[in-house]
Amino acid sequence: MDDQLLAQAQTIDNYTLSSIMDDYGNDVWNYAYFLTKSAEQADELSQEVFIRAYSGIAHYRGDCSLKTWLLTVTRNTTFTYRKSRFFRSSLWGETLPIETERGGSSQRVMIAEHSAHPSAEMEVMSKEHIHEIWDIVLELPKKFREILLLNLKYELTTSEIAEMLKISLGTVKSRLSRGKHKVRKQWEERSK
C-alpha cells in the first residue's frame, strides 16, 4: 500500500479497503483487544475503525505511516466507545485466557501472532516463554503496558508513539526503559 497515494486520496475503493484490512486487520483487532480486554468489543471496534478509515481517508495526511494512523483511529474510537452509554453498561473488563499450546488445547488471546521481525531481545527469549513474558507485560500499569505493546509488537518508533499518545518523546523513552526493566525484573523473579 502506497501511503503517499492514500495521503492524497479523498475516497478509497472497496479493493483498497480490503487490502488495508488484510494488511492491518490483525494489528487493529489486537490493539482494540489490548485496550478493552474483550474479544467481542475488539470485533465491534475493528469494524468501526475500518468504517471510519473508509469514510475518513481524506483526513489521512501522510504525516505518519498508515499503520500508525489506523492505530490512532483505533485508540480514539475505543476512547469514544468507552464514554458511550452502551459501553458503560456492557461487560467491561472480561478477559480471555492467553493462547497456549500446553495440554493440547489452544485458547485465543490478543498476542497470538508474533512480529515478523522481532527485536534482538525477543529473539533471545525462547518461544516457550513468550506467552509468560506477555503475561508480565499485561500485568504492568497501563502507561508502561501500552508503550511496550506499541514498540515491541507494532514496532512503532518512539517518535510515532509520542505523537500517537500525545506525550513527549522523553516520556516515551523513559516509560519504555522503565517498562522493560520491570518486565526483566519480574521475569527474573518468576524464573528463580
> In this predicted model, what pLDDT tens digit does every residue of 60-71 receive, in sequence order?
878 888 899 999
Between these two residues, 109 and 39, which has the higher pLDDT value? 39
- Average pLDDT across the chain, whole number: 75
pTM: 0.56
State whether 60 and 136 are in the same domain: no
Give residue-wise pLDDT tens across range 128-172: 566 677 778 888 998 999 999 898 888 889 999 999 999 999 999
Residues 6+ apart with CB under 8 A from 135: 98
Q: Which of 57, 89, 121 is the last residue of a domain?
A: 89
Residues 6+ apart with CB under 8 A from 188: none
3-state secondary structure 122-177: HHHCCHHHHHHHHHHHHHCCHHHHHHHHHHHHCCCCHHHHHHHHCCCHHHHHHHHH
Residue 173, domain extent? 111-191
CATH number, domain containing residue 146: 1.10.10.10
Residue 92 has pLDDT above 70, yes or no: no
* Residue burial 96-116, b: 16+ Cβ < 10 Å; e: rest: eebbeeeeeeeeebbbeeeee
